[in-house]
Amino acid sequence: MTGELSPIDKAKFVAAKRAADFVENGMRVGLGTGSTAAWLVRCLGERVREEGLTFRGVPTSTRTAELARDVGIEVVTLDEARWLDVTIDGADEFDAELNLIKGGGGALLQEKIVATASDRMIVIADAAKEVETLGAFPLPVEVIPFGRTASQALIEEALVSMDVMGRQTTLRMNGDTPYVTDEGNHILDLHLSRIGNARQLAMVLNQIPGVVENGLFIDICDQVVVGYGDGRVEVRDINAGTVSEGRLDFAEDDNLFRDLGD
């Protein structure tokens, strides 16, 4: 099956496969949301079945929870786990300081809560997610439905004084109706092109009434596992200042992800 994957999917696969090695018996592990995180969940499920790995997973969305249960991972809530050893999740963008934009999958609120309730956050991504400056990917902002248009107007007003290149905001849709998060909220996507001061923008956005959380993850990520389409994988540790490289060989008959639709 892996022989049929696109280079980007191969890159996601090797990043997920390498990151799965960080999980040890007895750990409490935050499980991210999105296509790359779904590969991780399948890889961990394989370790559960083949190695007898035992750990408790805290999913960041209902769809991650369903997939985790399907592959045999014990699922618990964050309240039950209380604190996590590690969270492993994808990202829509990351920069050299491992600051992130997340929320393309619509789960940014749970993702940020889980990540910050962890001793360590590891991001898994294909090499295309690395950027010099954040902002090319639209920045998700979760808002409550009540007064959403007022919140959107306040966000647009605040962007005038921010160091950004674009200021267009759009309501994320699911067909003909607004997209609804697991918490019953809506998402505004901010098309900024470039974010000059991500830390400042994150603070300003969260002060706006109606805003629940934004998709800027600043000083949260500790390591990034970068996958490449040729099987190379790179682990960067922002705290230790180290970079390690390796390679994962594909098994052409690997059917680990044959049912994965994400």
129 is in an annotated binding site: yes
36 is in an annotated binding site: yes
104 is in an annotated binding site: yes
What are the strands, taking DSSP E only, across 9-157? 28-31, 56-59, 74-75, 86-89, 93-94, 100-101, 121-126, 139-143
169 is in an annotated binding site: no
Catalytic residue among 46, 93, 111, 213: 111
Closest CA to 214 of 229, 227, 226, 199: 199
210 is in an annotated binding site: no
Which residue in the block uniquely carries the two structure tokens 């470039």? Answer: 194
Say if residues 54 and 84 touch (Cβ distance below 8 Å): no
251 is in an annotated binding site: no
91 is in an annotated binding site: yes
Say if residues 58 and 78 touch (Cβ distance below 8 Å): yes
Say if residues 131 and 95 touch (Cβ distance below 8 Å): yes
The question of whether 156 is a catalytic residue gets the answer no
Closest CA to 126 of 4, 234, 228: 228
Sheet holding 223-227, edge to edge: 74-75, 56-59, 28-31, 86-89, 121-126, 223-227, 232-237, 242-247
92 is in an annotated binding site: yes
C-alpha torsion sign, points 153, 154, 160, 165: negative
Chain-centre distance for alpha carbon 125: 9
Chain-centre distance for alpha carbon 181: 15
35 is in an annotated binding site: yes
First and final CA of the chain: distance in angstroms?
15
34 is in an annotated binding site: yes
Return d(Cα 85, Cα 71) in angstroms, integer. Answer: 21
What residues are designated binding site for substrate?
33-36, 89-92, 102-105, 129
The catalytic residues are: 111
What residues are designated binding site?
33-36, 89-92, 102-105, 129
